Amino acid sequence: MPNLSILFSVLLLFVSAGRYQENPEPEFRAVHQDILDHLYEVDLEGVEKIFESRRAELENSVVTMLLENYYDFLVIQLRDEYPVYKELKKSRSHRMGYIQKQDNADPIWRAYCQAQTNLQWGIARVKLEFYTRGIWDTRLAFQQLEAIHESKPGFLPGSMSLGLLQTLIGAAPKSRGKWIKMMGMEGNIFEGIDNLALSTKRTNPFWYEAEMLLAYCEGYIVNDPNSGKRRLKRLRKERPTLLADFVNSIYLMKFRDTQQALEIINQRIENAPPYLKPHFHFLLGDALLRKGLYVDAIYHLKYFLFHYKGMTLRKEANYKVSMAYYLDGNMEKADDYWVRTAKLGYTFLSSDHYAQAKFEAGRYPNKLLFKARMFFDGGYYEEAREELKNFADQQQTTRQLATEFYYRKGRVEHAQGNLDLALANYKLCIENQAQDQWYFAPNAWLQSGYIYTRKAERELATHAFEMAKEYPKNPYQESIDSQAKVGALLLEKKFSEGGKGH
């Protein structure tokens, strides 16, 4: 399910730009493009060699400072280690001062390089749990980007970064929206999407990045994953890069196209550079867990845990190793990794937070329902359906299990286009849960809202989205609240543009 923290950490994991085709920005030089080309392939050594050997070409340029910061930002995101962050942040004040002193630079580009540097450090700090400083940096970047937009609305790099922030802030749940607004940041998902779309013009040196950001916002924010999938497919065909393949793999996994993601991962994993290789193993292990290949999943997830020294994804990886052992029948090993889940790692990502919450709950999930969930998450719907049938045949009848069973059955029917059956199962899920704070009922309401929107049943859709927000203590509260908020906004937009409800 969409989550703003995931989007922040994944979308800006990369920096990329395509070969600008017409009227290139004069601030960009051939050496800058060469740096970007190496960054596409996560060739960090190649980037370092350019910075070292072509200094004369890089002098007296605000873009050079921005690209140096992009490089550091990429390293921080891939390694995710506090000592690395602490060492690299020493260069920040020097770069900001250098940018400010470049009087001969285009004022708009100078302002943009400052804003983008602030945005990158804001994201890095929030991810590493320096929340106050990170939010302050993000606020400053937002204000700078707004000023750029007011001064020169057609400046496409600014439209890209501002559009991303407008979309994310516009989708923020009510619990966060108030303090975001108090800090002077107001978002609008429709303005944000429009700005992102504008910034995909090939005259924008960062059009390649803009295409990826727009694809993610289409899928994660406005619930149109197929548009994002098509966009990423076209992008990979137009300009294939390692980074595009990695980003596409994450996207495909998110939206249950595991089989296609596996094809990309298997093509890239052996020759992936050291910083990125553990991440590919994590994706492969996750994909194989969803496919029911537990021994292979354990190998790749353990590879990630051994070779990756960062703090995010660590709880999730340990939890998934535990679950793979559990599903494979090795309870001794399952218990070992179950305990490891709580020992190390941050809970910045919702998946890490969920793993920690499952550990604190102190019990394993029902094996058949968990298998059904994994198959569903992988897009293996018939296999999920078979596990649900096995569960029903066993007549396991606790109320929580019944609630989860109807929820998972509803999701399978929904994914396969059986909308009335999906609604019937979502209704049974909601009725069984009553006032408990599990995530099944609020998500059942949310999914019902999507179905009623598709059916053009405005009042029922509005009611469903409102009800999705009535379970404030569920594990996915912020994510569901955000999606329900956006679902209601999209519903109103649809009907204001001429739709008819009944």
Per-residue pLDDT, 304: 95
Cα separation, 307 vs 274, whole angstroms: 9
Cα separation, 483 vs 171, whole angstroms: 7
Among 11, 65, 20, 37, which residue's Cα sits nearest to residue 204? Answer: 20
Per-residue pLDDT, 13: 44
Per-residue pLDDT, 333: 95
Contact 306, 277 (CB under 8 A): no
Alpha helices in 184-330 (DSSP H): 189-198, 207-216, 225-238, 242-254, 258-268, 277-291, 294-307, 314-328
Per-residue pLDDT, 132: 78
Cα separation, 343 vs 311, whole angstroms: 11
Among 426, 406, 416, which residue's Cα sits nearest to residue 381? Answer: 416
- Asked, colleague to colleague, whether 4-239 and 365-502 share their fold, the answer is yes
Count other Cβ atoms within 10 Å, centred on residue 238: 11
3-state secondary structure 344-365: CCCCCCHHHHHHHHHHHHCCCC
| Architecture of the structural domain at 4-239 | Alpha Horseshoe (1.25)
DSSP label at residue 240: -
DSSP label at residue 366: P
Among 69, 62, 20, 1, which residue's Cα sits nearest to residue 209? Answer: 20
- Secondary structure element (H or E) that encloses residue 90, with its range: none
Torsion of CA 200, 202, 205, 208, to 10 degrees: 50
Cα separation, 140 vs 410, whole angstroms: 44
As a residue count, the chain comes to 502
Domain boundaries, the chain: 4-239, 365-502
Cα separation, 350 vs 384, whole angstroms: 24
> Which residue has tokens 């995101």?
77
Q: How far is CA 105 from the centre of its chain?
A: 34
Among 419, 379, 403, which residue's Cα sits nearest to residue 391? Answer: 403
Cα separation, 105 vs 84, whole angstroms: 31
Contact 268, 242 (CB under 8 A): yes
Per-residue pLDDT, 345: 67
> Which residue has tokens 């029917």?
413
- Secondary structure element (H or E) that encloses residue 401, with its range: helix 399-415
**Which residue type is seen at 201?**
K
Tokens (6 digits) for 218: 């289409």
- Averages of pLDDT over runs of 10 residues in the chain (502 residues) are 43 42 62 88 92 93 93 88 87 91 90 94 80 86 95 94 94 72 80 96 89 94 94 92 93 96 96 92 97 98 92 88 95 90 70 72 88 97 97 83 96 97 98 89 97 96 95 83 94 77 41
Kindly provide the b/e burial profile for residues 450-469, where b requires at least 16 CB atoms within 10 angstroms of the residue's own CB.
bbbbeeebbebbbebbebbb
Model confidence pLDDT, tens digit, residues 389-410? 999 988 767 899 999 999 999 9
Contact 260, 287 (CB under 8 A): no
**Contacts for 186 with CB less than 8 Å, ≥ 6 apart:** 169, 180
Per-residue pLDDT, 363: 79
**Contacts for 395 with CB less than 8 Å, ≥ 6 apart:** none
CATH of domain 365-502: 1.25.40.10
pTM of this prediction? 0.89
**Contacts for 368 with CB less than 8 Å, ≥ 6 apart:** 387, 388, 390, 391, 394
Per-residue pLDDT, 17: 40
Burial degree of 14 (CB within 10 A; 0-12, 13-18, 19+):
buried
DSSP label at residue 27: T
DSSP label at residue 119: H
Alpha helices in 89-224 (DSSP H): 92-101, 107-127, 131-151, 156-170, 174-182, 189-198, 207-216
Cα separation, 286 vs 316, whole angstroms: 10
Count other Cβ atoms within 10 Å, centred on residue 193: 21
Q: How far is CA 174 from the centre of its chain?
A: 20
Q: Tell me how far apart the terminal alpha carbons of the chain are, to the nearest angstrom.
A: 29
